[in-house]
Amino acid sequence: MKYNPYAPYPEGNRNDEGSEAMYKEFDATELYCPNCKSAVPVRKRLLLVLPEGDKYEYLCAYCTASLGSKLDKNSKPTSLLI
């Protein structure tokens, strides 16, 4: 099998906001989106960095509605060196 680096993206390289980098990762989680009226894959967006952890917002991958947020506890010890 040859790998073709110039092969087009399957869905036409959608890059709506040009800010893909701000989405740290995709979550496997699916949440119910009231707009899409179904369970949808979510995007996890970093909202706030708190001393006790990072606060993430879950956005619908299709319509980017906010579906909730969660606090990701930092596993590293909170030792602030000032």
Range 34-53, binding Zn ion (CB under 5 A): 35-36
φ/ψ (deg, to 5) at 74: -70, 135
Q: Look up residue 76 and give its two tokens.
A: 């590293």
d(CA 82, CA 77): 15
Which one among 32, 63, 68, 71 touches Zn ion, defined by CB under 5 A?
A: 63
Is 61 an interacting residue with respect to Zn ion (CB under 5 A)? no
For residue 12, the minimal CB distance to Zn ion (Å) is 20
Residue 37 or 76 with smaller CB distance to Zn ion: 37
